[in-house]
Amino acid sequence: MTQYLLSVHSVDGQAGEPMTGEQMRQSYQQVMALQAEMKSAGAWVFGGRLHEPGTATVVRMSGGEMLTTDGPFAESREHLGGFYIVAAEDLDAALGWASKTSAIIGAPIEVRPFQDEPGA
């Protein structure tokens, strides 16, 4: 099994119409159902939604000193909105989970393999 990062990239200003309460409830239920499906298929490793990039902090070592900066690593209109990590037999299986997720959240998903196999 290989682990894949399924990441959702949001673009500022492309959020579209805000969802109604009912739409949010429906979307939440669909996401929960998909996560349950991932778990029962043994594909689920981890996943979650992130707060907006303004809540990020970057730390870096500089001249032996730890520097902390407020805000995301890269100032950009595109940022990571959330992700899943799934374990899958091959790329086709990972793409299958990605298309299900994309269909629910209505956003493109990048699928990228992790280097190490679990336990290797």
Partner 1 sequence: MGGTGAAPRPGEAEVGRIFREESGRSVAALIRVFGDIDVAEDAVQEAFAIAASKWPGDGLPPNPGGWITTTARNRAIDRLRRESRGRELLSEVAVLSPGTSDPRIPEEAGPVEDDRLRLIFTCCHPALSTDAQVALTLRLLGGLSTGEVARSFLVTEQTMAVRLVRAKRKIKAARIPYRVPGDHELPGRLRPVLAVVYLIYTAGLASPAEPGLCPEAIRLARILAALMPDEPEVAGLLALLLLTESRRASRTRPDGSLVLLAEQDRRRWDRALIEEGQAIVRRCLHRNQPGAYQIQAAINAVHADAATAAQTDWPQIAALYDQLLTVAPTPVVALNRAIAIGEVQGPAAALTLADELDLDNYHLFHATRADLLHRLGRHSEATAAYQRAAGMAPTPAERDFLRLGGRASR
> Which residues of the shown chain bind partner 1 in the complex (CB under 8 A)?
2, 4, 88-92, 94-95, 111-113, 115
Between 39 and 112, whose beta carbon lies closer to partner 1? 112
Q: What three-state secondary structure class fits 101? A: helix
Between 12 and 89, whose beta carbon lies closer to partner 1? 89
Output the smallest distance, CB 21 to partner 1, in A: 37
Q: What three-state secondary structure class fits 110? A: strand
Output the smallest distance, CB 98 to partner 1, in A: 11
Joined together, the tokens standing for residue 16 give: 């579209």
Measure the N-to-C terminal CA separation of the chain; round to a whole number of Å: 11
Between 3 and 53, whose beta carbon lies closer to partner 1? 3
Output the smallest distance, CB 95 to partner 1, in A: 7
Amino acid at 73: F
Q: Locate the DSSP E strands across 41-96.
A: 44-49, 57-62, 65-70, 78-88
Output the smallest distance, CB 4 to partner 1, in A: 8
Between 78 and 90, whose beta carbon lies closer to partner 1? 90
State the virtual CA torsion across 34, 36, 41, 44 in degrees, nearest 10. Answer: 90
